[in-house]
Structure 1
């Protein structure tokens, strides 16, 4: 007969229920924090790829710009007389498909001449060894010496592809596609697929 307190059995049952609830709570908290980490990494990667895409898009929109185009037009010279024509050319970097490299130029100093110095007007982007690289000087798609735009210790670019969708007398419409994964967590990946209008084609 029990007059006061708890029996050993009831104490053990209540302790086992408490430990089970504590374990379930800890598992839930751990799963929640793991999912938050994955979502955070996904957003971070998406943000990074969007910034790279914005940089590339902004540069491509300038392709073919000629500071002396008005003078050439008034003089009756065709667009093909400009040193900035054609505005861009698509190619392939070593070991990749056509469209994994784009070369272009525009008149940064508005003098109507294609200059290599002081700031090179020979520009481009390509995919190489899991990174997007920026053209240095007048190098072509297969030459070495390009500079990394993306950091391959942080992310690995699996796809960088540009293709022409439409071309007319008033410009060209390009499709820019980038997909990448985090180097430290390859299951976290993201991609963008954007149109880019090049008006100076």
Structure 2
């Protein structure tokens, strides 16, 4: 049989579970903000807002796992999954800044790194793909856990929860900066290697 006559590999449909979860996460961002600012100093409303945020974070874990396990990675998911993630965590960080519960300089450093690395990935895509590393995954987990604790509203909670929340936030900040610098190093290496291969082949 002539391999040239073989049917081309079909791409998975954009209408699949991982992409639906990504869309759900995007929709939950304004829902989260409305619930959070409805009564930001009421423990019940804060718990509800935290629950919405937590559900949205869990959709992020689920869609990536399902997409990889069942080979449902699509261009839609590649584009919108990181956008949904950054929109959700960005909304949480900025909201905590507006409420005066987290220092703005921490928020600015983290958000500059998050959006900067997202832009960097897109910018070097023509040279090669920059995969997520273990440090980046640890950063995401610590950011998510610290945000969940802060969103609960630390003031009326036992003091030890505040210590844990701030400990996680400082760890998240450190991982955010360190992994950001590592991604820049990776990006420079990917670009350098791609240019070297191109010159060697010309």
> TM-score per shorter chain, which class?
under 0.3
| Structure with more relative contact order (C-alpha pairs < 8 Å, separation 6 or more) | 2
TM-score of the aligned structures, taking structure 1 as reference length? 0.25
Q: Which has the higher strand share?
A: 1
Q: Which has the larger radius of gyration?
A: 1
TM-score of the aligned structures, taking structure 2 as reference length? 0.25
